[in-house]
Amino acid sequence: MSSGQREGPKILWAPWRADYVQERRPDGCLFCEASRNGKGPENLVVWGNPRIFVIMNRFPYALGHIMICPRRHVSDLEGLSSEEAADLMEGTRMAIRALSRTLSPEGFNVGINLGKVAGAGFADHLHVHVVPRWTGDFNFMPVLSETRVISEHLLVTYNKLQKVFQDLQTESSP
């Protein structure tokens, strides 16, 4: 560095994030709205059945971060019917298979945050997080600059996952 030049913070440009920040937020429950609107890239629903659906996280912790949700507006596990609970678990298993085929992760974080104090961003509508993980996938960026680097655009991942979910549905049909 030559004299007279100041050293300042480095800038990581991520112009696609503006779409997420400026996005219209639903007045009601975003999961109920996504369920009503159905499958499609506009609301990132990749698969569903009559009791549950799988939606990509618009603000992912990592590439491929998806959530499995009951269609019925329910806030906790106690409120699920036996059929909904079984479908929620089967949907989680199917999500892990789809992510494995699509992104080849080395592991997964799978979890449910029950209640706002437990970290639930949307505590009123139960959802299971499935986050693919790779060795070294998180580095200094989140620690030093509160920035996550997602290596693929959401709609590219959506298209891949939607195809794999279709294939898995066909494979499991009699």
143 pLDDT more than 50: no
The pair of structure tokens assigned to 75 is 């806030």
- Per-residue model confidence as pLDDT tens digits over 18-73: 655 555 555 789 999 999 998 888 899 999 999 999 999 988 878 899 999 999 99
pLDDT of residue 88: 97
CATH fold of 28-169 reads HIT family, subunit A (3.30.428)
Active site (catalytic) residues: 127
The structural domains of the chain, with segments of one domain joined by +, span 28-169
**Which candidate, 7, 154, 40, 64, places its Cα nearest to that of 53?**
40
CA dihedral defined by 85, 90, 93, 94, rounded to 10 degrees? -130
119 pLDDT more than 90: no
The string over 15-27, giving b where at least 16 C-beta atoms fall within 10 Å of a residue's C-beta and e elsewhere, is eeeeeeeeeeeee
